Amino acid sequence: GAGVSQSPSNKVTEKGKDVELRCDPISGHTALYWYRQSLGQGLEFLIYFQGNSAPDKSGLPSDRFSAERTGGSVSTLTIQRTQQEDSAVYLCASSLGLAGGYSTDTQYFGPGTRLTVL
């Protein structure tokens, strides 16, 4: 079946502009995650949605970052007033979450959006 999809695949923007990154999770997955990966760095957790519960925003680096998930499916990550240090690959993942009944919950990643802030 279809995996996690993300758009755009690449985004180049100017410092100070706002950007929106989109994630379509695997159908039926109730949990959705955003991570970012900077050059030479490990993946950094940003935010986690589980069903209709309040999201875990503890990884968002500043108030310029926000995310929403509409209808329990598609998610949008918004970065306002982008800075050069925001340049990274932004990865979305989804998992069965509470919809599953397994002892471990595998996260499946999308191909990512490569953001470059000039």
Contact criterion met (CB below 8 Å) for 57 and 65: no
Spatial distance between the Cα atoms of 64 and 99, rounded to a whole number of angstroms? 31
The reply on whether position 1 binds other proteins by CB under 8 A is: no
x/- binding map, residues 23-52, to other proteins, per CB under 8 A?
--------x-x-x----xxxxxx--x-x--
Count of residues engaged in binding other proteins, rule: CB under 8 A: 28
Using CB under 8 A as the binding rule, the residues of this chain from 71 to 110 that contact other proteins are: 91, 95, 97-98, 103-110
Question: What residues line the site for other proteins (CB under 8 A)?
Answer: 31, 33, 35, 40-45, 48, 50, 56, 58-59, 91, 95, 97-98, 103-112
